[in-house]
Amino acid sequence: MLFIWKAQAYIYAKCYYDLYSFLLNYQLNVNFTSQDRLSLSLAQTTYSGGDTSLFESISGDIVDKGYSIRPYALPTNLTSLLSQHIIELPTDEFKRAGIGRTKDHMINDFIRTDAISWITDDSEAGCAWINWAESLQAYLNRRLFLGLFSFESHFAHYAKGDFYKKHKDAFKGEGNRVLSVVVYLNPHWASSDGGELVIYDKNTPSSVVVDNSKITVIPSFGTIVVFLSEEFPHEVLAAKRDRYSIAGWFRLNNSIANNIDPPS
């Protein structure tokens, strides 16, 4: 329970809704028609089978360990749709990934060399993925009271030799990313292909013989990884062939007065 208490303490200290935010959300709900709700329900049913056992497993892992690794767990039809879409994306849709946000954003070849394409709902694959993520968000909010407000994500392409050095997705008190989500879209991936995700868990004891603090994840087709963004440094090892994935973040609401977060 330590992990979820830490996350909730951070959220309760930082996530508040002023009158403007409340009215904005109320207006959004009013404008969300019954047809919209039906469409969302159908999308969730199509790509999850209405089965919440996966979401329950993820939430249980977050409470117990602060992270969840679920091999081959994303619904196969959704994984196939996303995999086909990312392969068919034009090259110019991908941009070199950088580090930092807004004015601090920069390209640094020493830290990361992958390319990314932000996901929107203007394609069937993008819409299906966002709907699935929103279903997970709603479940985790009900189950863990995390107050997750929004979600952002991008496709990632690691060409042969690409990597991302050890880093955190959020730093304590400096951001509003709460949960990181990674999904892998690589059929027939072998351990010899490299490109593993390595998560560093300072809470797991190690010895001179075995380093249990390193958790290695093979980027196999449909594997889902979810972890507390502030708690776990991680890195992507160099891939030996093209490697495709999605990285996303559930965020808090830091709206203040007329400044909406996240910005549109």
As a whole number, mean pLDDT of residues 138-150 equals: 95
Q: Within a domain: residue 263?
A: no
- Which of 36-40, 111-115, 143-147 is the least confident region? 36-40
CA distance 53 to 63: 15
As a whole number, mean pLDDT of residues 107-117 equals: 92
Residue 109's pLDDT is 85
Phi, psi of 24 (to 5 degrees): -65, -50
Q: Within a domain: residue 29?
A: yes
Both structure tokens of 76: 């196969």
Q: Within a domain: residue 262?
A: no
Residue 35, pLDDT above cutoff 50: no
Q: State which amino acid sits at residue 176.
A: N
Phi, psi of 224 (to 5 degrees): -115, 135
Residue 213's pLDDT is 85
Q: Within a domain: residue 224?
A: yes
What CATH number does residue 202 fall under?
2.60.120.620
Q: Within a domain: residue 40?
A: yes
% the chain with pLDDT above 70: 70
Contact, 91 vs 194, CB < 8 A? Answer: no
The model carries a pTM of: 0.79
Residue 8's pLDDT is 52
Angle between helices 53-65 and 124-144 (to 10 degrees): 60
Q: Within a domain: residue 147?
A: yes
Q: Within a domain: residue 259?
A: no
For residue range 200-258, list pLDDT tens digits in order: 998 876 655 556 689 999 999 999 999 999 999 999 999 999 999 999 999 998 654 44
Q: Which of 226, 239, 222 is nearest to 163 (CA)?
A: 239
Q: Please tell me which residue, 99 or 224, carries the higher pLDDT value.
A: 224
How far apart are the two ends of the chain, measured CA to CA in Å?
Answer: 35
Strand segments, DSSP code E, in the chain are: 67-70, 95-96, 115-118, 150-158, 164-167, 177-184, 197-200, 214-217, 224-228, 234-236, 243-251
Q: Within a domain: residue 260?
A: no
Residue 259's pLDDT is 45
Residue 154's pLDDT is 98
CA distance 77 to 131: 14
Residue 87, pLDDT above cutoff 90: yes
Total domain count for the chain?
A: 1
Domain containing residue 68: 2-251
Residue 43's pLDDT is 45
Residue 174's pLDDT is 57
